[in-house]
Amino acid sequence: MRGLLLASIIVAGMAVAAATFSFLHGPPSESVVAQEVTPTPTPVALPPTAPVNAIGRLTIPANAPSASVSPPVPVDPAETAVFVTFLSSPGLNRAWVSLQEGSFTVHLIGILGAPSLRHPAMEVMYEVVNSP
How far is it, in rounded angstroms, from Cα 59 to Cα 79? 25
84 or 12: which leads in pLDDT:
84
Residue 47 dihedral angles phi and psi, to the nearest 5°: -70, 150
pLDDT at 121: 92
How far is it, in rounded angstroms, from Cα 105 to Cα 58? 10
* pTM of this structure: 0.59
State the pLDDT confidence band at 26, using cuts at 50, 70 and 90: very low
Query: Tens digit of pLDDT for each residue in 83-95?
Result: 999 998 888 889 9
Q: Which of 18-27, 58-67, 116-125 has the lowest mean pLDDT?
A: 18-27
Residue 127, pLDDT > 90, answer: yes
How far is it, in rounded angstroms, from Cα 20 to Cα 39? 7
Residue 25, pLDDT > 70, answer: no
State the pLDDT confidence band at 115, using cuts at 50, 70 and 90: confident
